[in-house]
């Protein structure tokens, strides 16, 4: 089954404080998009690429894709490395619209494709092995697959005063925590489509209905000292939680149906493509992710990524 890699690259990246769209920010002499493509193509699992670029950046995306393909071919051990076609389209107003636009264009251009990966350019150091694992799981019969990692921090549920700010925290698309369900293993073999959901955003704590209804300005007793303060409702058992990464892999018809449903009836709580698919009642499986697949959101993340590159990531 041939595989299309979809990269939404139209985000502004305001939290990164850059003057260009995030995918086109440079890291150690190459854009995030180029780093991303080089590693994806090195996996050998990608048959075609569809990029949804910010308006006005389409030609630059084509140039970057050509450079990445050349670099991947140079590093290839095969005597005749495969040529991977790249399609660039204009992204939409948000991530969902951008992915949908790329899927529509890719389905027309590559009708033989049966598997789709959706990957954030911001996770530009994701190793080739992660791409290969996700694609292999879809080809083995899973309709939806995400790379996951265990949660290592202690997780606290926020109280009523912090509910809204937690929901609006620095999660972004494709960045979440999955409820692993009963019996889930440490490598996240099965996340399922239980009530905990998949891709719940960077706010890991489960927020109750009463907390969600409270306003963001309620404060704890320590707020009077000028320190941002939020009451907590105790810790959450992290053994049943997973951090969700990208690339996320899907049977292509399932992913297109999920995006059509989201465009027709938007769910603002959906933070990634797996959560859109879960809305259809499709089970989502987890495979081992990688710590190098960090999401670059803030300037400090760039510093971490540079350090990883210096170590050979």
**297 located within any domain:** no
Interval 187-202 mean pLDDT: 39
Whether 62 and 110 share a structural domain: yes
Strand (E) or helix (H) holding 118: strand 113-118
Q: Does residue 159 come out as left (phi exceeding 0), alpha (psi in the -120 to 50 range) or beta?
A: beta
> Of the ranges 141-145, 172-176, 224-228, which one carries the lowest mean pLDDT score?
172-176
- CATH code of the domain in which 209 resides: 3.90.550
Whether 225 and 205 share a structural domain: yes
Answer whether residue 203 shows pLDDT above 70: no
Mean of pLDDT over the chain: 83
pLDDT-derived band at 230, boundaries 50, 70, 90 = confident
Whether 162 and 227 share a structural domain: yes
Interval 157-183 mean pLDDT: 52
Whether 117 and 167 share a structural domain: no
Q: Is pTM beyond 0.85 here?
A: no
Whether 122 and 137 share a structural domain: no
Whether 157 and 231 share a structural domain: yes
Whether 267 and 139 share a structural domain: yes
29 Cβ partners below 8 Å, 6+ apart? none
Q: What is the pLDDT of residue 116?
A: 98
Whether 192 and 107 share a structural domain: no
**195 located within any domain:** yes
**298 located within any domain:** no
Whether 10 and 74 share a structural domain: yes
Answer whether residue 303 shows pLDDT above 90: yes
Q: Does residue 49 come out as left (phi exceeding 0), alpha (psi in the -120 to 50 range) or beta?
A: beta
Domain total for the chain?
A: 2
Distance CA 62, CA 166 (A): 37
**Domain containing residue 181:** 129-291
Answer whether residue 30 shows pLDDT above 50: yes
């Amino acid at each position: 089954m041939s595989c299309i890699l979809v990269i939404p690259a139209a985000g502004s990246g305001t939290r990164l404080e850059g003057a260009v769209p995030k995918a086109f920010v440079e890291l150690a002499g190459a854009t995030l998009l180029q780093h991303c493509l080089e590693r994806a193509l090195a996996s050998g699992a990608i048959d075609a690429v569809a990029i949804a670029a910010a308006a006005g950046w389409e030609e630059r995306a084509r140039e970057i894709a050509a450079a990445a393909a050349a670099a991947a071919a140079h590093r290839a051990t095969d005597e005749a490395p495969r040529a991977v076609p790249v399609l660039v389209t204009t992204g939409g107003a948000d991530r969902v619209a951008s992915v949908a636009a790329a899927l529509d264009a890719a389905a027309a251009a590559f009708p033989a494709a049966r598997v789709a990966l959706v990957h954030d350019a911001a996770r530009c150091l994701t190793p080739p092995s992660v791409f290969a694992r996700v694609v292999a799981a879809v080809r083995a019969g899973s309709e939806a697959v995400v790379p996951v990692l265990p949660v290592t921090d202690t997780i606290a549920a926020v109280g009523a005063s912090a509910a809204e700010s937690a929901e609006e925290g620095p999660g972004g698309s494709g960045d979440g925590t999955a409820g692993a369900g009963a019996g889930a293993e440490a490598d996240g073999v099965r996340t399922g489509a239980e009530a905990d959901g998949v891709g719940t955003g960077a706010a890991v704590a489960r927020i109750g209905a009463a907390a969600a209804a409270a306003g963001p300005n309620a404060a704890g007793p320590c707020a009077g000292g000028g320190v941002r303060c939020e009451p907590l409702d105790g810790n959450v058992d992290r053994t049943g939680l997973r951090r969700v990464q990208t690339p996320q892999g899907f049977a292509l018809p399932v992913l297109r149906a999920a995006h059509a449903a989201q465009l027709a009836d938007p769910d603002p709580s959906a933070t990634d493509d797996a959560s859109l698919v879960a809305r259809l009642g499709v089970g989502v499986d987890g495979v081992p992710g990688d710590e190098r697949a960090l999401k670059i959101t803030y300037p400090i993340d760039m510093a971490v990524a540079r350090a990883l590159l210096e170590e050979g990531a």
